[in-house]
Amino acid sequence: MHTPRSIKTCRTLHELYTSRSVWTLALREICIRDALFFPSYPVDKMSVKQLMRACLAPDLWNERVRAGPGLKDPGVQTLSSELLESDPFEGAQRDSYNRVYFVPGGRYLIDHAGGSLRLWDLGLPSIFREKEGNAQEPRVVTSILIMDPSQVLDDEGGVVLDTDGGGQETIEFVVCPSRDGMRLRVWVVPGPSNVKGGDSMSCTSSVYEIELGSHQPDFTLMASLTVLTPAWSVVWGDLSMRDDTAIFHSLDYIIVWDFCDSKAKAWRVRSRTDNTDMLFLSQTSIYLVKSTGVLVWPTPLRSELKPIQNDTHTSTARKSRMWRPPLRIILHSGER
Protein backbone atom coordinates (compact mmCIF):
# COMPACT_ATOMS: atom_id res chain seq x y z
CA MET A 1 0.00 0.00 0.00
CA HIS A 2 1.48 3.34 -1.06
CA THR A 3 1.47 6.28 1.36
CA PRO A 4 0.85 9.90 0.23
CA ARG A 5 4.59 10.50 0.71
CA SER A 6 5.54 7.60 -1.58
CA ILE A 7 2.99 8.73 -4.16
CA LYS A 8 4.54 12.19 -4.24
CA THR A 9 8.06 10.75 -4.27
CA CYS A 10 7.55 8.31 -7.14
CA ARG A 11 7.19 10.49 -10.23
CA THR A 12 5.53 7.79 -12.35
CA LEU A 13 3.00 6.92 -9.68
CA HIS A 14 2.37 10.60 -8.95
CA GLU A 15 1.71 11.33 -12.64
CA LEU A 16 -0.69 8.41 -12.75
CA TYR A 17 -2.40 9.54 -9.55
CA THR A 18 -2.92 13.06 -10.87
CA SER A 19 -3.98 12.00 -14.37
CA ARG A 20 -7.32 13.45 -15.49
CA SER A 21 -8.04 10.45 -17.74
CA VAL A 22 -7.49 8.01 -14.85
CA TRP A 23 -9.89 9.84 -12.54
CA THR A 24 -12.45 10.33 -15.32
CA LEU A 25 -12.41 6.59 -15.96
CA ALA A 26 -12.67 5.94 -12.22
CA LEU A 27 -15.68 8.26 -11.96
CA ARG A 28 -17.38 6.48 -14.85
CA GLU A 29 -16.87 3.13 -13.10
CA ILE A 30 -18.24 4.57 -9.86
CA CYS A 31 -21.34 5.76 -11.73
CA ILE A 32 -21.85 2.29 -13.21
CA ARG A 33 -21.36 0.65 -9.80
CA ASP A 34 -23.76 2.96 -7.96
CA ALA A 35 -26.25 3.55 -10.84
CA LEU A 36 -25.43 7.27 -11.03
CA PHE A 37 -26.06 9.33 -14.16
CA PHE A 38 -22.57 10.08 -15.51
CA PRO A 39 -23.52 13.26 -17.49
CA SER A 40 -24.45 14.85 -14.14
CA TYR A 41 -20.73 15.57 -13.84
CA PRO A 42 -19.25 18.14 -16.30
CA VAL A 43 -15.95 16.24 -16.44
CA ASP A 44 -14.51 18.50 -19.15
CA LYS A 45 -14.79 21.48 -16.81
CA MET A 46 -13.85 19.73 -13.56
CA SER A 47 -10.35 19.85 -12.09
CA VAL A 48 -8.52 16.67 -11.10
CA LYS A 49 -9.22 17.52 -7.45
CA GLN A 50 -12.95 17.78 -8.18
CA LEU A 51 -12.88 14.47 -10.04
CA MET A 52 -11.21 12.86 -7.02
CA ARG A 53 -13.88 14.25 -4.68
CA ALA A 54 -16.62 13.03 -7.00
CA CYS A 55 -15.13 9.52 -6.96
CA LEU A 56 -14.87 9.48 -3.16
CA ALA A 57 -18.24 11.11 -2.41
CA PRO A 58 -20.46 7.97 -2.80
CA ASP A 59 -18.32 5.93 -0.39
CA LEU A 60 -18.09 8.81 2.08
CA TRP A 61 -21.88 9.12 1.94
CA ASN A 62 -22.31 5.39 2.56
CA GLU A 63 -19.99 5.59 5.56
CA ARG A 64 -21.99 8.49 6.96
CA VAL A 65 -25.27 6.60 6.52
CA ARG A 66 -23.83 3.52 8.24
CA ALA A 67 -22.61 5.69 11.12
CA GLY A 68 -26.22 6.27 12.15
CA PRO A 69 -28.34 9.38 12.90
CA GLY A 70 -27.18 12.93 12.78
CA LEU A 71 -26.91 13.32 9.00
CA LYS A 72 -28.41 16.79 8.92
CA ASP A 73 -25.90 19.52 9.61
CA PRO A 74 -27.48 22.47 11.50
CA GLY A 75 -25.66 24.76 9.10
CA VAL A 76 -27.22 23.26 5.97
CA GLN A 77 -29.21 25.86 4.05
CA THR A 78 -31.90 25.53 1.40
CA LEU A 79 -30.41 25.67 -2.10
CA SER A 80 -33.26 27.79 -3.43
CA SER A 81 -36.60 29.03 -2.14
CA GLU A 82 -38.00 29.42 -5.65
CA LEU A 83 -41.39 27.80 -6.13
CA LEU A 84 -41.44 25.23 -8.95
CA GLU A 85 -44.64 26.55 -10.49
CA SER A 86 -46.16 25.22 -13.69
CA ASP A 87 -45.74 27.08 -16.95
CA PRO A 88 -49.10 28.14 -18.47
CA PHE A 89 -49.07 25.69 -21.39
CA GLU A 90 -52.11 26.22 -23.58
CA GLY A 91 -54.62 23.41 -23.23
CA ALA A 92 -53.06 21.94 -20.09
CA GLN A 93 -55.81 20.90 -17.70
CA ARG A 94 -53.80 19.75 -14.69
CA ASP A 95 -52.67 22.23 -12.10
CA SER A 96 -51.11 19.98 -9.46
CA TYR A 97 -48.00 17.86 -9.19
CA ASN A 98 -48.26 14.17 -9.96
CA ARG A 99 -44.75 12.71 -9.97
CA VAL A 100 -41.22 13.87 -9.21
CA TYR A 101 -38.09 11.82 -9.98
CA PHE A 102 -34.63 12.78 -8.72
CA VAL A 103 -32.03 11.43 -11.17
CA PRO A 104 -29.24 9.62 -9.25
CA GLY A 105 -26.19 11.85 -9.50
CA GLY A 106 -27.59 14.86 -7.68
CA ARG A 107 -28.07 17.32 -10.51
CA TYR A 108 -31.17 16.57 -12.58
CA LEU A 109 -34.82 16.23 -11.62
CA ILE A 110 -37.85 15.28 -13.72
CA ASP A 111 -41.36 16.29 -12.70
CA HIS A 112 -44.87 16.22 -14.11
CA ALA A 113 -47.01 19.26 -13.35
CA GLY A 114 -49.51 21.42 -15.16
CA GLY A 115 -49.87 18.89 -17.96
CA SER A 116 -46.19 18.95 -18.89
CA LEU A 117 -43.14 16.80 -18.19
CA ARG A 118 -40.07 18.86 -17.36
CA LEU A 119 -36.35 18.24 -16.91
CA TRP A 120 -34.74 20.48 -14.30
CA ASP A 121 -31.05 21.26 -13.88
CA LEU A 122 -30.50 21.92 -10.17
CA GLY A 123 -26.88 22.92 -10.66
CA LEU A 124 -23.69 21.39 -9.31
CA PRO A 125 -23.34 20.43 -5.64
CA SER A 126 -21.19 22.83 -3.63
CA ILE A 127 -18.25 20.38 -3.40
CA PHE A 128 -17.81 20.62 -7.19
CA ARG A 129 -17.92 24.41 -7.37
CA GLU A 130 -14.81 26.54 -7.21
CA LYS A 131 -16.55 29.23 -5.15
CA GLU A 132 -19.67 29.12 -2.98
CA GLY A 133 -21.05 32.16 -4.78
CA ASN A 134 -21.13 30.26 -8.09
CA ALA A 135 -24.35 28.41 -7.18
CA GLN A 136 -26.75 28.06 -10.10
CA GLU A 137 -30.46 28.62 -9.68
CA PRO A 138 -32.62 25.64 -10.71
CA ARG A 139 -33.80 25.96 -14.30
CA VAL A 140 -35.98 24.03 -16.72
CA VAL A 141 -33.75 22.48 -19.40
CA THR A 142 -36.58 21.17 -21.58
CA SER A 143 -40.24 20.17 -21.31
CA ILE A 144 -42.95 18.39 -23.26
CA LEU A 145 -46.74 18.61 -23.15
CA ILE A 146 -48.45 15.30 -22.37
CA MET A 147 -51.76 14.56 -24.12
CA ASP A 148 -54.75 14.65 -21.82
CA PRO A 149 -56.16 11.15 -21.23
CA SER A 150 -59.68 12.56 -21.67
CA GLN A 151 -58.95 12.43 -25.40
CA VAL A 152 -59.99 9.00 -26.63
CA LEU A 153 -60.13 6.95 -29.81
CA ASP A 154 -63.32 6.53 -31.80
CA ASP A 155 -64.19 3.34 -33.67
CA GLU A 156 -62.12 4.44 -36.69
CA GLY A 157 -59.03 5.39 -34.74
CA GLY A 158 -59.79 9.11 -34.60
CA VAL A 159 -59.32 11.17 -31.44
CA VAL A 160 -62.45 12.48 -29.72
CA LEU A 161 -63.16 14.00 -26.31
CA ASP A 162 -64.38 11.60 -23.65
CA THR A 163 -67.41 13.53 -22.39
CA ASP A 164 -68.31 10.68 -20.02
CA GLY A 165 -65.22 11.36 -17.94
CA GLY A 166 -63.82 7.88 -18.38
CA GLY A 167 -60.23 9.09 -18.56
CA GLN A 168 -58.12 9.06 -15.43
CA GLU A 169 -55.99 12.12 -14.74
CA THR A 170 -52.94 10.07 -13.84
CA ILE A 171 -49.53 10.28 -15.46
CA GLU A 172 -46.89 7.74 -14.53
CA PHE A 173 -43.33 7.81 -15.81
CA VAL A 174 -40.24 5.66 -15.39
CA VAL A 175 -36.68 6.92 -15.93
CA CYS A 176 -33.52 4.97 -16.69
CA PRO A 177 -30.20 5.70 -18.42
CA SER A 178 -29.48 4.42 -21.92
CA ARG A 179 -27.33 1.33 -22.33
CA ASP A 180 -24.14 3.43 -22.59
CA GLY A 181 -25.20 5.53 -19.60
CA MET A 182 -24.95 8.83 -21.49
CA ARG A 183 -28.64 9.61 -22.16
CA LEU A 184 -31.82 9.56 -20.13
CA ARG A 185 -34.84 7.55 -21.25
CA VAL A 186 -38.29 8.44 -19.95
CA TRP A 187 -41.26 6.11 -20.37
CA VAL A 188 -44.44 8.19 -20.08
CA VAL A 189 -47.68 6.35 -19.34
CA PRO A 190 -50.90 8.41 -19.20
CA GLY A 191 -54.03 7.15 -17.52
CA PRO A 192 -56.35 4.85 -19.52
CA SER A 193 -59.34 6.22 -21.39
CA ASN A 194 -62.51 4.75 -22.85
CA VAL A 195 -62.65 3.87 -26.52
CA LYS A 196 -65.88 5.30 -27.92
CA GLY A 197 -68.53 2.63 -27.57
CA GLY A 198 -67.41 1.68 -24.07
CA ASP A 199 -66.33 -1.89 -24.79
CA SER A 200 -62.61 -1.39 -24.17
CA MET A 201 -59.99 0.84 -22.56
CA SER A 202 -57.03 2.35 -24.37
CA CYS A 203 -53.68 3.66 -23.21
CA THR A 204 -50.85 4.93 -25.41
CA SER A 205 -47.46 5.14 -23.71
CA SER A 206 -44.31 6.64 -25.20
CA VAL A 207 -40.57 6.37 -24.61
CA TYR A 208 -38.53 9.57 -24.97
CA GLU A 209 -34.77 10.04 -24.90
CA ILE A 210 -32.88 13.10 -23.67
CA GLU A 211 -29.30 13.69 -24.80
CA LEU A 212 -27.92 16.21 -22.33
CA GLY A 213 -24.65 16.54 -24.23
CA SER A 214 -26.40 18.11 -27.22
CA HIS A 215 -26.62 21.87 -27.78
CA GLN A 216 -30.38 21.90 -27.16
CA PRO A 217 -31.49 18.88 -25.10
CA ASP A 218 -35.05 17.82 -25.82
CA PHE A 219 -37.51 14.97 -25.30
CA THR A 220 -36.99 12.94 -28.49
CA LEU A 221 -39.66 10.33 -29.19
CA MET A 222 -38.24 6.83 -29.63
CA ALA A 223 -41.38 4.68 -29.76
CA SER A 224 -45.05 4.47 -28.74
CA LEU A 225 -47.26 1.57 -27.74
CA THR A 226 -51.05 1.41 -27.43
CA VAL A 227 -52.59 -1.26 -25.22
CA LEU A 228 -56.30 -2.12 -25.48
CA THR A 229 -58.00 -4.10 -22.71
CA PRO A 230 -61.62 -4.83 -21.72
CA ALA A 231 -63.44 -1.78 -20.38
CA TRP A 232 -63.78 -3.19 -16.87
CA SER A 233 -60.10 -3.98 -16.50
CA VAL A 234 -57.24 -2.10 -14.94
CA VAL A 235 -54.95 -1.19 -17.83
CA TRP A 236 -51.72 -0.51 -15.95
CA GLY A 237 -50.11 -2.04 -12.93
CA ASP A 238 -46.53 -1.34 -11.92
CA LEU A 239 -43.88 -0.37 -14.49
CA SER A 240 -40.17 -1.07 -14.86
CA MET A 241 -37.56 -0.29 -17.50
CA ARG A 242 -33.94 -1.24 -18.17
CA ASP A 243 -31.75 -0.53 -21.22
CA ASP A 244 -34.02 -1.06 -24.28
CA THR A 245 -36.76 -3.00 -22.48
CA ALA A 246 -39.93 -1.87 -20.71
CA ILE A 247 -42.24 -4.19 -18.78
CA PHE A 248 -45.65 -3.78 -17.18
CA HIS A 249 -48.54 -5.89 -16.02
CA SER A 250 -52.22 -5.58 -16.83
CA LEU A 251 -54.89 -7.83 -15.36
CA ASP A 252 -53.24 -11.26 -15.38
CA TYR A 253 -50.72 -10.44 -18.14
CA ILE A 254 -47.02 -9.63 -18.05
CA ILE A 255 -45.93 -7.68 -21.14
CA VAL A 256 -42.30 -7.21 -22.22
CA TRP A 257 -41.71 -4.46 -24.79
CA ASP A 258 -38.43 -3.91 -26.66
CA PHE A 259 -39.07 -0.33 -27.75
CA CYS A 260 -35.94 -0.11 -29.92
CA ASP A 261 -36.80 -3.16 -32.06
CA SER A 262 -40.61 -2.74 -31.82
CA LYS A 263 -41.08 -6.26 -30.49
CA ALA A 264 -42.97 -7.65 -27.54
CA LYS A 265 -44.02 -10.75 -25.68
CA ALA A 266 -46.98 -11.25 -23.35
CA TRP A 267 -47.94 -14.11 -21.11
CA ARG A 268 -50.56 -14.77 -18.49
CA VAL A 269 -50.04 -15.03 -14.75
CA ARG A 270 -51.96 -17.73 -12.90
CA SER A 271 -53.07 -15.35 -10.16
CA ARG A 272 -54.50 -12.00 -11.19
CA THR A 273 -52.14 -9.10 -10.59
CA ASP A 274 -53.02 -6.18 -8.36
CA ASN A 275 -52.27 -2.46 -8.42
CA THR A 276 -50.20 -2.90 -5.27
CA ASP A 277 -47.94 -5.49 -6.91
CA MET A 278 -44.42 -4.25 -7.62
CA LEU A 279 -42.52 -5.13 -10.78
CA PHE A 280 -38.73 -5.21 -11.17
CA LEU A 281 -36.56 -5.93 -14.20
CA SER A 282 -32.96 -7.11 -13.89
CA GLN A 283 -30.57 -8.18 -16.62
CA THR A 284 -31.68 -11.79 -16.34
CA SER A 285 -35.01 -11.90 -14.51
CA ILE A 286 -38.43 -10.30 -14.05
CA TYR A 287 -39.76 -10.07 -10.49
CA LEU A 288 -43.40 -9.54 -9.55
CA VAL A 289 -43.65 -8.83 -5.83
CA LYS A 290 -47.10 -9.61 -4.45
CA SER A 291 -48.48 -9.49 -0.92
CA THR A 292 -48.42 -13.30 -0.92
CA GLY A 293 -44.94 -13.82 -2.38
CA VAL A 294 -42.66 -13.13 -5.33
CA LEU A 295 -43.03 -14.49 -8.86
CA VAL A 296 -39.91 -14.69 -11.04
CA TRP A 297 -39.52 -15.27 -14.78
CA PRO A 298 -36.39 -15.29 -16.92
CA THR A 299 -36.13 -12.17 -19.05
CA PRO A 300 -37.09 -13.25 -22.61
CA LEU A 301 -34.32 -13.33 -25.19
CA ARG A 302 -34.68 -10.93 -28.10
CA SER A 303 -35.22 -13.92 -30.38
CA GLU A 304 -38.33 -14.80 -28.36
CA LEU A 305 -40.00 -11.42 -28.93
CA LYS A 306 -42.44 -10.95 -31.81
CA PRO A 307 -42.80 -7.85 -34.03
CA ILE A 308 -45.66 -5.53 -33.07
CA GLN A 309 -47.92 -4.38 -35.91
CA ASN A 310 -50.70 -1.83 -36.02
CA ASP A 311 -53.61 -1.77 -38.43
CA THR A 312 -51.65 -0.34 -41.34
CA HIS A 313 -47.93 -1.03 -41.16
CA THR A 314 -44.97 -2.28 -39.16
CA SER A 315 -42.25 0.21 -38.27
CA THR A 316 -38.94 -0.02 -36.42
CA ALA A 317 -38.45 2.69 -33.82
CA ARG A 318 -34.66 2.63 -34.20
CA LYS A 319 -34.81 3.82 -37.82
CA SER A 320 -36.59 7.06 -37.02
CA ARG A 321 -36.93 9.42 -34.08
CA MET A 322 -39.99 11.24 -35.48
CA TRP A 323 -43.58 10.56 -34.45
CA ARG A 324 -45.15 7.36 -35.78
CA PRO A 325 -48.64 5.87 -35.40
CA PRO A 326 -48.91 3.98 -32.10
CA LEU A 327 -48.17 0.26 -32.08
CA ARG A 328 -50.71 -2.00 -30.42
CA ILE A 329 -51.11 -5.03 -28.25
CA ILE A 330 -54.75 -6.12 -27.89
CA LEU A 331 -55.64 -8.09 -24.78
CA HIS A 332 -58.89 -9.95 -24.17
CA SER A 333 -59.92 -11.56 -20.92
CA GLY A 334 -60.72 -14.85 -22.67
CA GLU A 335 -57.44 -15.04 -24.59
CA ARG A 336 -55.28 -18.08 -23.86
Model confidence band, residue 212 (pLDDT cutoffs 50, 70, 90):
confident
What pLDDT is recorded for position 210?
A: 93
What pLDDT is recorded for position 302?
A: 86
What pLDDT is recorded for position 120?
A: 92
What pLDDT is recorded for position 81?
A: 60
pLDDT higher for 81 or 90?
81
What is the average pLDDT value for the chain, to the nearest integer? Answer: 72
Q: Is the pLDDT of residue 87 over 70?
A: no
Q: Is the pLDDT of residue 61 over 50?
A: yes
Model confidence band, residue 336 (pLDDT cutoffs 50, 70, 90):
very low
What pLDDT is recorded for position 156?
A: 53
Q: Is the pLDDT of residue 147 over 80?
A: no
- Amino acid type, 152: V
What pLDDT is recorded for position 72?
A: 58
Of 164-168, 195-199, 244-248, where does mean pLDDT reach its minimum? 164-168
What pLDDT is recorded for position 172?
A: 84
Of 45-49, 68-72, 146-150, 309-313, where does mean pLDDT reach its minimum? 309-313
